[in-house]
Amino acid sequence: MTVNIRTTEANVAAQQLDLIALYRTMVTARTTNDILKTRKTQGKFAFYIGCAGHESIAAVVAALNEDDWLSLYYRDLAAWLQRTGDIRGPLREAYSRTTGPMCSGRNMPSHYSSKRHHILPTFSEVGALAPFAGGVGFSLQWHKSSDLIMYTTGDGGVATNDFNVLFRQAAVHKLPVLMVVEDNGWAITTASPIQWAGSLVEWARGGGVYAEEVDGTDTMATYEATTRLVQHIRSGQGPVLMHLRLGLLDAHSSSTDIKSYRKKEEIELTTATKDPVKNFGRWLVEHGHLQEADIERIRKEVRAELERAEAQVLQEPEPTADRVMDHVINVPQWRENTPRGKKRPTPMLGAINEALVELAQRDSGFFVYGQDVGSPKGGVFGATSMLVTQFPGRAISSPLNEQLIVGIAAGAGMVDGKARCAEIQFVDYHQSAAQTIRMAARVSYQSYGDWSVPLIIRTKSGSGGGGPISSSTAGGGAFGHSNTGEQWFTTIPGMITICPATPFDAKGLLLEAGRAQSPVAFLERGRLYRSEPPKDDQGNVIAAIAECWNVPDGYYTLPIGKARRLRIGEGPSSLAIIAWGTMVLEACTAAANIVNSRGGAIDIVDLRTLAPFDEEAVAAAVREATRVIVVTEESDLTSFGRHVHSWIVQHCFYDLDGTPAFISALPAPAAPYNAPEETAFYPTARTIEEKMGELLAE
């Protein structure tokens, strides 16, 4: 396939564009569409969603540079062809062949994706790629690149939160983003006036983004408008929204009956007036670039080429069941290293500050993005205060929108291949970003390992507003400030979840998270930010864990997925406690009290990483003690704690001398603000001690 000549100069655009190659690309898109539509009705595969009416998007891509980034949606077959020249790719994906360049046959057809060609992995969730596109734009700006990103969506997509997030990302930071709304008048059966009120162009301009309406049924008008709008972006004047008016020539997808929701006259009018391929062919003949006979000749040539390609593709291998768990999660291989820096007593907040500075020092592209993080205080908890002082510009305050925050860090990580850090002030507020986080964790699986989303999401979680553990009433986090978080993140396939209990672990694990290629949820417990090592009831510091408050200077890492086993007392352990975060400290206090009064030893398994958790360490501790308690700060609903408990029942049943015990917070929405109710809500050292007493008496 001939590749068009591209230019960014509006005045020379029309002369430099290879008009015939562009037309051929559009014909190839339409013909592929027609072949695959037919194959679907012949029962060759389960689903097809087509591009008919949207082929002029090829002209938009023709006006971009080869290295510009694309975030496409399912109608953009012509954009794929224009960028890659790969006619087999769409056929391979339709027939689910392992040779498929987008996802190795793993996803539905029409989900365009290619790291090599800078095409982000299209999601089925309409609009969901938008916050990532903003992150790509942020990264391009950060690296002072002259490239831009084009993001496309339909008129329905404009209504999504995700699109509105991209709009704000682009507008606030003046990012190099071209937002193209491919308005074909329909979102399945819903007409576009339902999606927004008033004028899209005026709406965009009012929000600080230059916008224009363009007739997408006219390919040359589309190309010329794009070159002009791209010039606007590249000259540093900020993002652009192009409202591209199109017609949808087919039903929404192979699952939709067009006649059930569109009137015959409207379909006929759309077909007669809004077909960009026909219109462009006519224009080429009228302007002497082609003869009438060439139109039919090109159509036949393209069809023959595609049929030959299809026959070859059908000889290629199909996926086999044994690869179903490939590319789910990517935990970094830990490189053994001994911390060499001088050790100093440091609280967890200091350890986190130090880790962020280390990450910034080793990677000039590293930044933390979140609410208030760029203020001299370094966010509401002060976790970025050292970064603010030592690396100005690397802690960047964001608008108040968690989805926007995660999208910036995730998209930037996709460009660089290295984790950038999103800070969510309180884990409760991750909820507006939930879809973006889930998508980030899915990308590697969906694209069969072509893409990954390195990303660290740091967030304050669990009881308390940041006060010391010594007083269970010092919290007062209440609703919106005290959720645990692990019940949300550990259920996401592809996500790493870490919850450190000590400053030493917090620093080493955060530095290791910086090496991960899968997204990491890093849960920082508010009650541990400034806590000291735990003590028993007689005021003695518990030696088994106290050393972890001495944090080495400089860089060191700890392995993700490995628990820490703490032995309280002497001799063989008579009880194992599985805990993480704040509950490790509560369990230490409880265990020390029990050992003080009864002697013997108790094993505490601090999981440190919750997903994937250290099954070996849990099984070994249960085998030795034969009695076990799982302690979690989560509400007693479907929780991570319940998962660990169930895992022990399933895998360690014959090693147990009794039913594994389970301690959690109460199944209420969150801890109330007032002290009596808050104290009743959470488990404490006392609760754990009582349960230990019961088990040891059996």
Ligand X SMILES: Cc1ncc(C[n+]2csc(CCOP(=O)(O)OP(=O)(O)O)c2C)c(N)n1
Residues with a catalytic annotation lie at: 481
Alpha-carbon distance values, 481 to 75, 464, 476, 583 (Å) = 42, 8, 9, 18
Identity of the residue, 201 or 619, whose beta carbon is nearer to ligand X in the bound complex: 201
What's the closest the beta carbon of residue 156 comes to ligand X, in angstroms? Answer: 3
What's the closest the beta carbon of residue 577 comes to ligand X, in angstroms? Answer: 43
- Cβ-Cβ contacts under 8 Å for 562 (sequence gap 6 or more): 334, 608, 609, 614, 617
Give the residue among 325, 321, 330 at the shortest CA–CA distance from 494.
330
What's the closest the beta carbon of residue 148 comes to ligand X, in angstroms? Answer: 22
Radius of gyration for the chain, computed over Cα atoms and rounded to the nearest angstrom: 29
Identity of the residue, 187 or 214, whose beta carbon is nearer to ligand X in the bound complex: 187
Identity of the residue, 75 or 438, whose beta carbon is nearer to ligand X in the bound complex: 75
What's the closest the beta carbon of residue 226 comes to ligand X, in angstroms? Answer: 19
Identity of the residue, 164 or 497, whose beta carbon is nearer to ligand X in the bound complex: 164
623 within 8 A of 656, measured Cβ to Cβ: no
Closest residue to ligand X, Cβ-based? 154
Query: Mapping DSSP to helix (H, G, I), strand (E, B) and coil, where does residue 245 land?
Result: strand
Residues that bind ligand X (CB under 6 A): 75, 124-126, 153-157, 184, 186-188, 252
Report angle CA 292, 298, 304 to the nearest 5 degrees.
145
For residues 72 and 250, give the distance between their C-alpha atoms in angstroms, rounded to a whole number: 19
Identity of the residue, 138 or 186, whose beta carbon is nearer to ligand X in the bound complex: 186
Taking the CB of residue 392, how many other CB atoms lie within 10 A of it? Answer: 9
What's the closest the beta carbon of residue 158 comes to ligand X, in angstroms? Answer: 7
Compute the half-sphere exposure of residue 392: CA atoms within 13 Å on the CB side of its CA: 0
Token representation of residue 512: 């290791």
For residues 675 and 672, give the distance between their C-alpha atoms in angstroms, rounded to a whole number: 8
Identity of the residue, 435 or 664, whose beta carbon is nearer to ligand X in the bound complex: 435
For residues 61 and 70, give the distance between their C-alpha atoms in angstroms, rounded to a whole number: 9
Query: Mapping DSSP to helix (H, G, I), strand (E, B) and coil, where does residue 166 land?
Result: helix
For residues 404 and 279, give the distance between their C-alpha atoms in angstroms, rounded to a whole number: 40
What's the closest the beta carbon of residue 135 comes to ligand X, in angstroms? Answer: 19
Which residue bears the tokens 């819903």? Answer: 190
Looking at 417-513, list the stretches that DSSP marks H as alpha helix, in order from N- to C-terminal side. 434-446, 486-489, 503-513
416 within 8 A of 139, measured Cβ to Cβ: yes
* Pairing of the two strands 601-606 and 609-611: unpaired
Q: What are phi and psi of 558, to 5 degrees?
A: -125, 150
As beta bridge partners, residue 604 has 566, 577
- Cβ-Cβ contacts under 8 Å for 101 (sequence gap 6 or more): 84, 86, 89, 92, 93, 114
Identity of the residue, 154 or 467, whose beta carbon is nearer to ligand X in the bound complex: 154
What's the closest the beta carbon of residue 126 comes to ligand X, in angstroms? Answer: 4
Identity of the residue, 437 or 631, whose beta carbon is nearer to ligand X in the bound complex: 437
- Cβ-Cβ contacts under 8 Å for 218 (sequence gap 6 or more): 56, 276, 279, 283
403 within 8 A of 440, measured Cβ to Cβ: no
- Cβ-Cβ contacts under 8 Å for 165 (sequence gap 6 or more): 130, 131, 134, 401, 403, 404, 407
Identity of the residue, 7 or 184, whose beta carbon is nearer to ligand X in the bound complex: 184
What's the closest the beta carbon of residue 246 comes to ligand X, in angstroms? Answer: 8
Identity of the residue, 24 or 75, whose beta carbon is nearer to ligand X in the bound complex: 75
Q: Which amino acid, 157?
A: G
As beta bridge partners, residue 662 has 630
Q: Which amino acid, 25?
A: T
What's the closest the beta carbon of residue 570 comes to ligand X, in angstroms? Answer: 58
What's the closest the beta carbon of residue 342 comes to ligand X, in angstroms? Answer: 52
For residues 564 and 606, give the distance between their C-alpha atoms in angstroms, rounded to a whole number: 5
128 within 8 A of 443, measured Cβ to Cβ: no
Identity of the residue, 140 or 406, whose beta carbon is nearer to ligand X in the bound complex: 406
Q: Which amino acid, 18?
A: D
Which residue bears the tokens 């809004």? Answer: 274
What's the closest the beta carbon of residue 153 comes to ligand X, in angstroms? Answer: 6
What's the closest the beta carbon of residue 83 comes to ligand X, in angstroms? Answer: 19
Identity of the residue, 155 or 614, whose beta carbon is nearer to ligand X in the bound complex: 155
**Which conformational region is residue 17 in: left (phi greater than 0), alpha (psi within -120 to 50 degrees), or beta?**
beta
- Helix (H) / strand (E) element for 237: namely none
* Pairing of the two strands 550-552 and 343-345: antiparallel
476 within 8 A of 465, measured Cβ to Cβ: yes
Q: What are phi and psi of 97, to 5 degrees?
A: -100, 145
For residues 645 and 628, give the distance between their C-alpha atoms in angstroms, rounded to a whole number: 9
